[in-house]
């Protein structure tokens, strides 16, 4: 790409609606669940902390008040400009669980998480980088897991956190190289 990232840049992060069914873990009023909010904060913090570059002055999530109802690139770019962000990191996540019951042993759990992302230059509208990242976590149901759902949620959250950390590292590396 011919666009270089200057020092002191600001990145606005926009998480597009997730594809996974979170009701299965938190119920239909999931947005009022303290556990759901804690998990989202953990995942948001993991991504934000993993975007490291000497050229980045600030990384901030886009406030929902300025996120356009229609998620088109021109409207997202405009929202990024209103935040005075040089770059907009747009990402979505998706996860899935597979399990295997074993006689006289703990249940085997495999969680997959994928994050697709686009790094957008706010000034030019050029997509600087894009990719899909997939991470896999293998674990077992633990004694402290009070239910299968709790074990599945732990595995899915760990896989998502791993994928988000990898995403942040890729973005930071891209910015340092350009």
Q: Report whether 143 contacts 105 (CB < 8 A).
A: no
Q: Quote the distance between the C-alpha of residue 127 and its chain's center.
A: 18
Residue 19 above 80 pLDDT?
A: no
**Could you give the CA distance from residue 8 to residue 146 in angstroms, rounded to a whole number?**
47
Residue 28 above 50 pLDDT?
A: yes
DSSP string spanning 112-130? Answer: EEEEEEEEEETTT--EEEE
- pLDDT tens digits for 98-137? 877 777 777 889 999 999 999 999 999 999 999 999 999 9
**Could you give the CA distance from residue 119 to residue 104 in angstroms, rounded to a whole number?**
48
* Residue 1 confidence (pLDDT): 47
**Residue 32: which pLDDT band, with cuts at 50, 70 and 90?**
low
Q: What is the pTM of this model?
A: 0.84
- pLDDT tens digits for 154-177? 899 999 999 999 999 999 999 999
Residue 38 above 90 pLDDT?
A: no
* Residue 22 confidence (pLDDT): 56
- pLDDT tens digits for 55-81? 999 999 999 898 888 889 999 999 999
**Could you give the CA distance from residue 70 to residue 72 in angstroms, rounded to a whole number?**
6
**Could you give the CA distance from residue 71 to residue 73 in angstroms, rounded to a whole number?**
7
Element (H, E) at 35: helix 34-50
**Could you give the CA distance from residue 148 to residue 100 in angstroms, rounded to a whole number?**
11
Count, residues in the chain: 178
């Amino acid at each position: 790409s011919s666009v270089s990232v200057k020092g002191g840049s600001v990145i606005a992060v926009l998480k597009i609606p997730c594809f996974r069914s979170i009701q299965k873990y938190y119920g239909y009023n999931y947005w009022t669940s303290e556990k759901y909010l804690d998990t989202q904060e953990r995942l948001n913090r993991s991504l934000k902390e993993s975007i490291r570059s000497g050229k980045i002055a600030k990384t901030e999530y886009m406030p929902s008040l300025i996120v356009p109802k229609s998620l088109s690139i021109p409207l997202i770019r405009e929202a990024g400009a209103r935040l005075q962000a040089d770059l907009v990191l747009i990402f979505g996540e998706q996860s899935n669980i597979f399990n295997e019951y074993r006689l006289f042993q703990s249940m085997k759990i495999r969680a997959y998480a994928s994050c697709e992302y686009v790094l957008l230059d706010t000034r030019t509208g050029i997509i600087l980088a894009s990719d899909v990242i997939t991470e896999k976590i293998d674990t077992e149901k633990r004694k402290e897991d009070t239910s299968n759902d709790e074990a599945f949620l732990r595995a899915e959250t760990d896989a998502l956190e791993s994928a988000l950390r990898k995403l942040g590292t890729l973005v930071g590396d891209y910015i340092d190289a350009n």
